Amino acid sequence: MSAIASLRAVTRQILGKSARSATVSWRNSWTPLRTLHTTTVRAIPAAHAALAPATSGSSNDTPAKVVLPELRGDKSKVLIGWQDGRVSKFHNRYLFDHCRCEKCFHPATKQRLKQLSEIPSDIRAADVSASPNGATITSSYDPPLEQAKKTEEYVAQTYIGHFPHSVNEPLAYLLRRRRVDSRILWNSSISKSPPIVEFSSLVPSANVSEVQAERGVLRWLTKVHEFGFCFVTGVPATPEDTEALIRRIGNIRETHYGGFWDFTADLKHGDMAYTNEPLPAHTDNTYFTDPSGLQIFHLLSHPPPGKGGSSLLVDAFYAASILETLHPDAYATLSRLAVPSHASGSEGTLLRPLAQPVFKHDAITGEIAQVRWNNEDRGVLGKGWRADDIEAWYDAAGKWEEAVKSADAEYWVQLMPGTMVVIDNWRVMHGRSTFTGQRRMCGAYVGRDDWRSRLATLKRTFADKPKEEEARKEHDTWNVGW
């Protein structure tokens, strides 16, 4: 028996629990797949915890005493001493660059107003102080030579910056901590309880207000983020209603297939999707330098005597985690070697994107961020590779394909008219079995940045915010861009 053929048993051995319970329990114990050997990863630049004052108190009846951090500045940096003994270091140029006063940061457009050339290399902290509201830093720097010549007496320039405690930790760029991710890895047992939302909760109606529908879209996209896919039930089986629902997420991405699709197996485009042939698990758009973020399908009709066409879903992040655990060298190979892809079947289309590895990782956290796998669209291997890379890649790709095609990883489901599926194309692979008859599908692509932006703005819209006007303005100014 091969290693991957016994994935379920191996997973139980590694995690000490059944495969199904493991997939559920990972919700609260996500470990970055690139850092299984460590308990800490680099945090996303973040200074709520960095600058927030500590409190002390022995009972709920006694008002907490604010314990301010100790601040000290010198010619190159500001040091912050915490009550637990830690010391954080922040460079003066960094602080000046990230100031968000009206001279430095446009409050409406949320864009910088300073050029890098305006950040003095000799800026130094002349005075630093902490208060319950934040940290105030008075900086000093020499004036430009031309300006100094115009004055009879040399006077150093001063600048006062205030960094509030209410911001989302924008200054703690040197702190290291474990990052908890809400993504849930799953295997074939997801069939017992797949993520689902109801169409009626996503669109305004006589019974659902616009605000309620927006909250519904937030729940919808949160499930897509957590699981990598989500079903929507109760969708009217028409292309018009399907397209309108997709546009609740964001703009539809135009490609050589068009925008919104309504298609059958007629080979209208030179792609296997337009046939009735089976499709192995794959991600779409490997022939784009920037693959689409969401792949959305809705089966409109498949009348008798037509049959078949079951849909296949595979959590590629789950399969990648198993591959990394069992075959770390193979995982490293697929993370290193750039694989070319192409789309050449449609007249007037000849796509040759930048070659990229099968596994791509977040440059900050090291976590796996994208899987690009479509064997059917793979180009000619070897450009820029070493001679021994060829055998290493074939060996690694074989182990990867074995993991993806295992019974443990594959989730098969028969779509029916009225059920739409939204797939994170950077994470979840999809495929189908062969079919007969007239099978009519519709759907669209949505860009990665578009759906992630929609999710982020909905989270911000419905998040708790300060009640005081000045605090809200401060929150609005500082809570962006980190």
Render pLDDT for 416-465 as a digit per residue (tens, 0 to 9).
999 999 999 999 999 999 999 999 999 999 999 999 999 999 999 998 88
Same-domain check for residues 211 and 138: no
In a domain, 214, yes or no: yes
Domain, as residue range, for 300: 188-461
Residues 320/331, Cβ–Cβ less than 8 Å = yes
Tokens of residue 294, six digits:
């969401």
Which pLDDT tens digit goes with each residue over 35-45?
222 222 222 23
What is the side-by-side strand order in the sheet with 428-432? Answer: 279-282, 428-432, 311-315, 411-413
Would the pLDDT of 119 be above 60?
A: yes
Domain CATH number, residue 106? 3.30.2020.30
Same-domain check for residues 253 and 372: yes
In angstroms, the CA 249 to CA 242 distance is 12
> What are the residues whose beta carbons fall under 8 Å from the beta carbon of 186, sequence distance 6 or more?
23, 227, 315, 318, 411
Q: How far is residue 350 from each of residues 34, 293, 372, 441, measured CA to CA in Å?
A: 35, 21, 19, 25
- What does 388-453 look like in DSSP terms, one character per residue? HHHHHHHHHHHHHHHHHTSTTT-EEE---TT-EEEEETTTEEEEE--B-S--EEEEEEE-HHHHHH
Which pLDDT score is estimated for 166?
A: 55
Same-domain check for residues 340 and 447: yes
In a domain, 255, yes or no: yes
Same-domain check for residues 125 and 225: no
- Report the run of H or E that residue 131 belongs to, with start and end: strand 124-131
Instruction: Show which of 145, 174, 203 is a domain's final residue.
Output: 174
Closest CA to 179 of 190, 169, 167: 169
In a domain, 479, yes or no: no
Same-domain check for residues 78 and 142: yes
In angstroms, the CA 153 to CA 128 distance is 26
If you search the block for the tokens 């890098």, which residue do you land on? 116
Domain CATH number, residue 391? 3.60.130.10
Same-domain check for residues 138 and 209: no
Which pLDDT tens digit goes with each residue over 301-344?
999 999 999 999 999 999 999 999 999 999 999 999 999 998 88
If you search the block for the tokens 């009709």, which residue do you land on? 301
In angstroms, the CA 223 to CA 422 distance is 10
Same-domain check for residues 253 and 299: yes
Instruction: Please give the distance of CA 401 from its chain centroid, rounded to a whole number.
Output: 24
In a domain, 24, yes or no: no
Same-domain check for residues 200 and 324: yes
Region of 382 please: left (phi>0), alpha (psi -120 to 50) or beta. left
Same-domain check for residues 228 and 260: yes
Same-domain check for residues 362 and 437: yes
Same-domain check for residues 154 and 286: no
Same-domain check for residues 132 and 278: no
In a domain, 429, yes or no: yes
User: How many distinct structural domains can be found in the chain?
Assistant: 2
pTM, entire model: 0.81
In a domain, 246, yes or no: yes
